[in-house]
Every structure is written in structure tokens, then in C-alpha cells.
Chains A and B, each alone.
Chain A
Amino acid sequence: MTDTGDARALVSLTLSFRPLAAQIGPLRTLLSDLCKPHLADADGLSRLLLAAHELLENIVKYSVGEAAEFHLLLEAKATGLIVRLRTKNRAAPERMADARWRLDALAKAPNAIAHYDELIRESAGRRDVSGLGLARIPAETEMQLCYATEQDWLILTAEGNASERVNG
């Protein structure tokens, strides 16, 4: 993970909540309002919101139990902005196994876009769940996605760079 030695937090948001689909839209709006003043261009904000949306939908769809966590950190460093998104939720054993399988395959893939294209081709003939949401994050946002587990908790972290708005 990022060395935060010379970093200053521009936005730091930690949310513990019972995830509901109806909350994703308002949360996206909140994240947009918080981060937009610090980002140099619409593309940076678009990538951040896409990753946040997919991570939030992931916990809405697959978390078990009442509690889940969402963290956003937007930090300024000498080299630019660091965006870090993290979710933590409890997952059923079969969902945990599926997530690990998908995330391990993603980590092993030498090219995130080629891996995503392959998943798209494989998913075309299936009419069940998408299975594309997590792979979409590195392919379309250039953020790195990694995971950790703590017993039945799944922790996903997406991290990437963005350009900082220069005022004046």
C-alpha cells in the first residue's frame, strides 16, 4: 500500500452502515461533492465514482449480516493525488470462495484490460449474474484492486492516482 509519509488527506470518509441499494446513488453524489473540488478533470472523478459504485454494489449484493464498512481516502502527495477506496463486509462461504477465485485470477492477469475482455467474452453466453464488476475496476479506472480476508470478512481495496486541481 501507499507510503503516506508526505501525504496530506484532502478527503477522508469512513462509513459503517447496513448496505441498501437505495443508498448507492446518494453516496455517489456525496463522494462526487467531496472529491470534485480537488480533482483536476472530469475523467479522474469519473474513474473514482465508477470504482466506488461497483464496490458499493458488491457489498449490497453479497454482504451478509447487518454491518459493512466503506472508506474513501483522497490524499495529496508531491507526485499527485492518491485515491483509495476500501470496503469491508461479511461474506457467505460460497461468495467468499467465488470472490477469492475472481480476485486471484485478476491479480495473476498480466493485462487488466485483456483479462476483462476475456471475462466479457465468457459472460456473453451466460444469462446469470454479471461477474464483471470487480474486473471492471482495474480495466476502466486504472486502479489496482487487492483483497484480504479476516475470518468471514472480505476486505477489498482499490487504489490509484489522479491529478490534483491547481487553484488560482
Chain B
Amino acid sequence: MSAFSLTTVGGEGFQVTPALIDFNLRLVFTGSGDMNATGVINDYLKLVHEEAIRLGLAQVSCDFKQLTFMNSSCFKSFVVWIDTVKNSEIRYQIAFLTNPSLPWQRRSLEALRRLAANLVTIETIA
């Protein structure tokens, strides 16, 4: 099996940085998920799913501590990703790590949890 293949994507204003620890993949999102980020997130989450299946990961964590905003188009990319995992023969857990000082996160992510309550968890990080 080849090595972990995900790399940091994005640029000024928005970035996703991956880190693989044991069988848990952590994706650190920084900046603003706006119109410029939509294509990046959409493409990246497809790669994340492929990698998670290939490596047999138990969980993918999305660290939103430094994600200041996410528009509805970026949100839709997460909907598609979660739906893909939900309908996959091989599944893994998805955890969203939220910043309590950014109230939109809890509101937005609750909708994703309702989409797949058995797959998605929401945690608060300090």
C-alpha cells in the first residue's frame, strides 16, 4: 500500500492541512470557506473519501477552530461527502471540531449531523 497521499490545499484566504495519526485523519481548515474555496473543498473531499477507504480509516476529523465562515456552496460539498460515506459499503466516522466563539459553526453543522446522526459527531474544542 502506498503512503498517505493527501497534501495541503488552498492558498491565501483558505487552506486545508491534513495530518494522519494512527487510523485517524485530521483536516485543519483555516480562513473563509467562500466562493473561492468551493472548488477546492469539493475536489478535496472526494480525495479524502478515496484515501479514507484505501487506508481503512476509522475516523476523519474536520478541525474548524480557525474556519471563520462557510458558505452554502462549501456546505453542500460536505453534504455530498457525508452522503457518499453514508451510502458506501465501507464507512468511517466524521467528527467536526468546532470553535465556541464562532456560533455559526454549531448552527450549520447541526444540519449535517441530522443528515447522518450515526456517522457525524460535533465536538467543541478550546
Contact = CB atoms under 8 A, between A and B. Distances in A.
B111 A139 contact: yes
Interface in A121-156: 121, 123-125, 127, 129-133, 136, 139-140
Interface stretch (A53-61, A74-82, A97-105): A53-61
A63 B40 CA distance: 24
Q: How large is the interface on A (under 10, 10 to 19, 20 to 34, 35 or more residues)?
A: 20 to 34
Contacts of A133: 71-73
A39 to B, nearest CB: 12
B34 A132 contact: no
Q: How large is the interface on B (under 10, 10 to 19, 20 to 34, 35 or more residues)?
A: 20 to 34
Q: Which of A53, A61, A129 has the most CB of B within 10 A?
A: A53
Contact of A130 (B76, B103, B111): B76
Contacts of B108: 136, 140
B115 A120 contact: yes
19 contacts: A25-B32, A25-B34, A42-B101, A42-B102, A46-B102, A47-B107, A49-B104, A50-B69, A54-B71, A113-B111, A116-B111, A117-B114, A120-B79, A124-B115, A130-B73, A133-B73, A136-B72, A139-B111, A140-B107
